[in-house]
Amino acid sequence: MEALQREIADAAAFADDLPFDPDAVAVDGPVEADASGNERLGPSSDAPVIVGVDQAFLDERAVSAIVAVQDGAVIERAHAVTQLSIPYIPGLLAFREGGPILAAIEELSVEPDLAVFDGSGRIHFRQAGIATHVGVVLDLPSVGVAKTLLCGEPAEPVDGRPAGWSTPIEAGPDVEAPEGTTIGHAYQSRQWDRSQSINPLYVSPGHRVSAATTRDLVDALCAGYKLPEPTRLADRYADEVKAEYE
DNA sequence: GCGACAG
DNA sequence: ATCTTGTCGC
């Protein structure tokens, strides 16, 4: 599995090769979850279709949820319930959740322009986190958004930073990349005004996106919550589907 | 052997 | 990821 990850990292493009202008991406406010107001029946413009991907679990089954957003509105949701066979092992997450995610994406009728994954991309021991792995398999532009850091080193302390702040995550001895290579960023999407502090997000390129653009895209996709809208919606949808299966 | 480790 | 009460703050 590790050898395959090195091949995937080799095939991955950590430079911008997007079918749309990343500077044109923006989500004004929180997106309504479903048909409660601004859902359309399918893609209606040439604006990029961005999908959020997340999972929930019941016993040894994975509930993979996909929510497609375009112009700040949900245009489609899809999901799949799959039997799991591989345990969770840090560094090998894609082998456990990759198949289930592909099954859910196959249920989608729209063609995504970008996928936002819950987990790392290039911030990975062999530069092949789940965002990179699935992105390469589908040759789909992708980014990874993780809530905790798997490996690498922040260029500076990350505690108590204001919203909008970010710092590079550099490759250390634990990453198979030249020492100091920027493999992603710590990005503070949200912060409290006083007292309590919120941890930053750890964002990294999946495939066909650079580290800087990944940070900018996540920044543009956040709308008042810690997680970017596509991810937050997929998170909620996964819980919704899970509830129906138990 | 010890420590570290996405979801 | 999942199991869960109470609690702080707008």
Percent of chain A's residues with pLDDT above 70? 95
Per-residue pLDDT at A40? 55
What is the CATH number for A121? 3.30.2170.10
Per-residue pLDDT at A246? 87
Tell me, yes or no, whether A8 lies in a domain: yes
Per-residue pLDDT at A13? 98
Residue A44 C-alpha from the chain's centroid:
24
Tell me, yes or no, whether A174 lies in a domain: no
End-to-end CA distance of chain A: 33
Tell me, yes or no, whether A193 lies in a domain: no
Per-residue pLDDT at A35? 40
For residues A160 and A171, which has the higher predicted lDDT (pLDDT)?
A171
A16 is in an annotated binding site: no
CA distance A47 to A44: 8
Average pLDDT in the A99-122 region? 98
Structural domains counted in chain A: 1
Decide if A209 contacts A141 (C-beta within 8 A).
yes
Q: Which nucleotides in chain C lie less than 7 Å from some protein C-beta?
A: 1-2, 8-10
Q: Domain span at residue A123? A: 2-146+207-244
Tell me, yes or no, whether A179 lies in a domain: no
pLDDT tens for each residue of A195-242: 788 999 999 999 999 999 999 999 999 999 999 999 999 999 999 999
Residue A2 has pLDDT above 80, yes or no: yes
Tell me, yes or no, whether A175 lies in a domain: no
Cβ of A93 near strand B (distance < 7 A): yes
Tell me, yes or no, whether A74 lies in a domain: yes
Q: Give me the CA A53–C1' B7 separation in Å, rounded.
A: 12
Q: Give me the CA A2–C1' B3 separation in Å, rounded.
A: 21
Tell me, yes or no, whether A177 lies in a domain: no
Tell me, yes or no, whether A170 lies in a domain: no
Q: Which residues of A33-71 are buried (b: 16+ CB within 10 A; e: fewer)?
A: beeeeeeeeebeeebbbbbbbbbbeeeeebbbbbbbbbb
Phi-psi region of A213 (alpha: psi -120 to 50; beta: other; left: phi over 0): alpha
Per-residue pLDDT at A37? 41
Phi and psi at residue A206, to the nearest 5°: -100, -75
Average pLDDT in the A157-186 region? 96
Per-residue pLDDT at A32? 72
Per-residue pLDDT at A39? 53
pLDDT tens for each residue of A6-46: 999 999 999 999 999 999 888 876 777 664 444 555 667 88
pLDDT tens for each residue of A95-105: 999 999 999 99
Where does the pLDDT of residue A193 fall: very low under 50, low under 70, confident under 90, or very high at 90 and above?
confident
Cβ of A82 near strand B (distance < 7 A): no
